[in-house]
Amino acid sequence: MIDFAIKDCALGMIATGRRAQTLRELRDNLRDIHPGCIYHHFWGTLLRPQVVDREYNNDFAMWCYSSLHDAAAAERLAVIDPADFSDLEELRQELIEVIDERLDETELMLFARADRQFHFARSVIVVFDTHKRLSEPRELVEALPQMSVGSIFYHFIDARRRDPMSVDDFQAWLVGLGPEYSELCDAVAQIDPYFESLFALRERLTEVFTQHFVPGAVASRRSQECAEPAAENVQVSEPRTASEDVIPEDVI
Amino acid sequence: MTTETRTTSLLDRYAEQAGLDAMEQLRQLAGLLTGLKVVHVNSTRRGGGVAEILEALVPLQQELGMDTSWEVIEGTEDFFSCTKSFHNALQGKRLDISRGLLCEYEEVNAANAERLRPVLEAADIVFIHDPQPAPLLTHCPDRRGKWIWRCHIDLSHPYRPVWKFVRRFLLGYDASVFSLDAFAQPMPHSVYLIPPSIDPLSEKNQPLEPEVVQRVLEEFGVDPERPLLLQVSRFDRFKDPLGVIQAYRLAKDFIPSLQLILAGGTAADDPEGETVLNDVREAAEGDPDIHVLSSGHYSDRTINALQTGADIVLQKSLREGFGLTVTEAMWKGKPVIGGNTGGIRLQLVNHRTGFLVDTPEGAAMRIRYLLTEPDRIAQIGQTAKELVRHNFLITRHLREYLTLMVALTHGNEDRIELG
């Protein structure tokens, strides 16, 4: 059986120097901007500092809403799900079409303030080896809640860019282990990678694996959570301190 | 043996704040850089955010196995007057600088290059911080390493004639680093975006006993039982200390017990500070509840005590490179009312970790709101502290510098696999 190597990652940001102040400029830049920028502005946002879930999931929609004050453009861009597209060029075409449609239907030429322009950036991804290895899928029940959000990003988001079939690392591992995990694989495939924070994705994954291997534990944990209101979510890279480096007993 | 013990100790202390995973990431990145000669160059050993960052960053890089040193250029009064004008002009003030001062800028750099050339030309990586030492590169023709210009200021709307003058010294660099995408200018090389950070182990950021805090407040004539506003900032017009006084006065009409401290330092390279400080003293005259503290009166530990003792911290900047005082206050669990500008926007999540304001009136409204809702003060403060822990500590900053160094020395690829 092949071990699952838990990796972690971080993104470094690289500016392109290209900016947009109107929707038309955004569209024009999108025509030939580095494909890494499209990836960064859709997916990279997941690893940035957040306190609460953002109103819109990608930077293009967020900018239209908060800087151009064009709510219609923001909503249409926000509904684009990058996971629906087989590659970034297809996603680029969809973005351009949605913006063209908006430009065709409005005579308004909205400008962002000079200090609220859209800045195109891309990322360099650094992948770290945590040196932790799992030999059986069941171990994910304990390992997932301990994973950093960087690990979740690497295995559940970045994996789709690495895998020719655009599959996350968890599914890829399970498929390789044989048909006995096909039901679990399907459950993982049901998790939407785009519309939630990495925090929430980690919880969903944990629930799916726990439900599969320890049915009943999820219901028990949910009832505990209802009894204790959660603190405000902070999107973080989730470091563990030496004293926290023990898996809490109540996970299972 | 001694070095190894010290390494473990320093990294362990950071692990207590930032986590074991963060330390492991640093070790893995540093593994590709072991033994590299890295030199940081700036214009002041003390005072200002750059020096504070380097005080923490350089020992950490050394502990991780790099041969890192920190050099400071020496300048004349005219040199610092010129670079202060650069600072203002590059942040948007229309300010023409005399030819004499520009010549002094170039001559001082040429003189410093004579002294620093052997170190700089032998280095594998050179970080030049801000415009002051930027021309050093042109005086090191036999350099063998990668040179990085680290810009800590907001270059989003520079006064063009001054930017044009400074930019020509930057064209030969291998990369630039800006704090935010909005601050960056197009360059003929890669431009990395790395927000600055605070050092949780520094005197300014370590937790203090309540008695220490109370003693410091009383030392400055502040009543610990009454609400206290604080702005810690250089006496600089872009920090709008007069706007803070106006906000305090508006709020005081409703909360008569309110007190305000304006604690401002002046860095060695900032000759304008004294003028602004005098304007602030004049505006505060006659109000015993406004305490204007200048740099001679306090240490980092004192600033820590003031931030810890304040109910609300303000950073009402009109322009801000990043605003490390915002991060410092958030780390102490304080809600911050900050100017809606620059890096403050990145740190303050409006209504969650503080409030963004555009006017003294806006600041006064938020002061009133928070002081009538003490539970919100505690809640916002707690969220703010966690945001800093995970995003704005020196360990994250170092990780991004190491990433940049690895990228530059290993082929500038979009993906770096370690371990």
| A109 & A207 share domain | no
Per the CB < 8 A criterion, the answer to whether B234 and B267 are in contact is yes
Beta partners for residue B312, in sequence order: B229
| A176 & A217 share domain | yes
Antiparallel, parallel or unpaired: β B67-72 and B37-42: parallel
Q: What is the pLDDT of residue A227?
A: 55
Q: What is the pLDDT of residue B359?
A: 97
With cut-offs at 50, 70 and 90, classify the pLDDT of residue B289.
very high
Region B366-372: mean pLDDT is 96
Q: What is the pLDDT of residue B271?
A: 67
Q: What is the pLDDT of residue A52?
A: 60
A128 to chain B, closest Cα gap in Å: 5
| A159 & A63 share domain | no
Q: How far is CA B92 from CA A116, B274, B318, in A?
A: 16, 21, 11
- The domain locations on chain B are 2-197+393-409, 210-391
- Assess if residue A247 is contained within a domain: no
Region B95-120: mean pLDDT is 97
- Identify the sign of the CA torsion A196, B346, A20, A62: positive
Domain count, chain A: 2
| B150 lies within 8 A of chain A by CB | no
| A113 lies within 8 A of chain B by CB | no
pLDDT at A219 over 90: no
Residue in chain B closest to A158 (alpha carbons) equals B415
pLDDT at B250 over 70: yes
Region A156-172: mean pLDDT is 92
Q: What is the pLDDT of residue B295?
A: 66
| A82 & A57 share domain | yes
Right CATH number for B2-197+393-409 from 3.40.50.2000, 3.60.20.10, 3.40.190.10, 3.40.1190.20?
3.40.50.2000
Nearest CA-CA partner of B332 in B375, B367, B379, B384: B384
Higher pLDDT, B350 or A241: B350
Q: Is the CB of A241 less than 8 angstroms away from the CB of B184?
A: no
Region A36-59: mean pLDDT is 83
Give the number of A-B residue pairs with CB atoms closer than 8 Å.
Answer: 138
pTM: 0.84
Tens of pLDDT along B173-228?
999 999 988 889 999 999 999 998 999 999 999 999 999 999 999 999 999 999 99
| Residues spanned by the domain of A61 | 5-123
* Average model confidence (pLDDT) across chain B: 91
| A93 & A179 share domain | no
Higher pLDDT, A110 or B331: B331
- Identify the sign of the CA torsion B28, B32, B37, B41: negative
Q: What is the pLDDT of residue B234?
A: 84
Per the CB < 8 A criterion, the answer to whether B315 and B326 are in contact is yes
Q: Is the CB of B349 less than 8 angstroms away from the CB of A51?
A: yes
Nearest CA-CA partner of B239 in B293, B320, B122: B320
Residue in chain B closest to A240 (alpha carbons) equals B19
With cut-offs at 50, 70 and 90, classify the pLDDT of residue B5.
very low
CA distance linking residue B178 with residue B195, whole number of Å = 7
| A111 lies within 8 A of chain B by CB | no
Nearest CA-CA partner of B177 in B158, B196, B197, B159: B196
Q: How far is CA B274 from CA B220, B271, B281, in A?
A: 21, 7, 11
Architecture of domain B210-391: 3-Layer(aba) Sandwich (3.40)
| A105 & A184 share domain | no
| A171 & A110 share domain | no
pLDDT at A4 over 70: yes
| A146 & A119 share domain | no
Nearest CA-CA partner of A211 in A178, A177, A184, A247: A184
| A118 & A13 share domain | yes
Any idea what DSSP says for residue A68? I
Antiparallel, parallel or unpaired: β B190-193 and A4-20: antiparallel
| A16 & A109 share domain | yes
Contacts of A132 in chain B (CB under 8 A): none
Q: Is the CB of B28 less than 8 angstroms away from the CB of A128?
A: yes
pLDDT at A247 over 50: no
Tens of pLDDT along A110-134?
889 888 899 999 999 989 999 999 9
Tens of pLDDT along A165-206?
889 999 999 999 989 999 999 999 999 988 888 888 999 999
- Assess if residue A245 is contained within a domain: no
Strands lying side by side in the sheet with B146-150: B67-72, B37-42, B125-129, B146-150, B175-178, B190-193, A4-20, A118-134, B415-417
pLDDT at A236 over 60: no
* Average model confidence (pLDDT) across chain A: 85
Q: Which of A127, A129, A236 sits opposite B390 (nearest CB)?
A: A236
Q: What is the pLDDT of residue A109?
A: 82
B395 to chain A, closest Cα gap in Å: 11
pLDDT at A38 over 90: yes
B161 to chain A, closest Cα gap in Å: 19
- Assess if residue A129 is contained within a domain: no
CA distance linking residue A202 with residue B190, whole number of Å = 34
pLDDT at A244 over 60: no
Q: Is the CB of A15 less than 8 angstroms away from the CB of B184?
A: yes
Q: What is the pLDDT of residue A116?
A: 86
B404 to chain A, closest Cα gap in Å: 8
Least confident of A154-168, A190-204, B263-277, B308-322: B263-277
Q: Is the CB of B21 less than 8 angstroms away from the CB of A8?
A: yes
B21 to chain A, closest Cα gap in Å: 6
Nearest CA-CA partner of B244 in B343, B118, B338, B345: B338
Q: Is the CB of A129 less than 8 angstroms away from the CB of B406?
A: no
| A21 & A114 share domain | yes
| A53 & A159 share domain | no
Region B323-343: mean pLDDT is 92
Q: What is the pLDDT of residue A238?
A: 39
pLDDT at B360 over 70: yes
- Assess if residue A128 is contained within a domain: no
